Structure 1
């Protein structure tokens, strides 16, 4: 399994946990896919799109999602996008990322 990562707000994760499935944020639904990152893209993505905000980092087993994972290029690189839903069984870890005032506190290193 090659994990992919998704950043979301705490409320969105709590709603997904209650529903049993994660369907993405308003932005994801507007774009038609769930935006994800590789391990080396997480810090930059968090800083660019969520400055000043505490976050949840979902580690996702891409083989367990409902739908297709496509690797798509944008000006900042090639990113994984989930065209479908993420059942809770596909989420292998959930980490709280606290905003320190300057950056998000990511407590571990990625492979």
Structure 2
């Protein structure tokens, strides 16, 4: 990240540019699903081991997207909370078919 973000609204387009390759975003969607599944399983079973599954599964997918696809460093290392929020914001915008306008505003092609 070349410029330090002082707010989430400044961070959001930086986050999207760090996820410019569609395959990287797809791996992040898998990561988000792992996290949501783990939370649901903890709520359903009461077994806290699902948290480990959620963390390992989520980071495995997301970091593969950065280290193997985007060839960049995850923003989690500099802004962990904002990155988590942005991960789920990106996921739900994508699921709702509204991510394209955010990508375009950040200067990212939705098609890669």
- What TM-score comes out, normalization by structure 2 length? 0.30
| Structure in which a larger fraction of residues adopt strand | 1
- Structure whose alpha-carbon radius of gyration is higher: 2
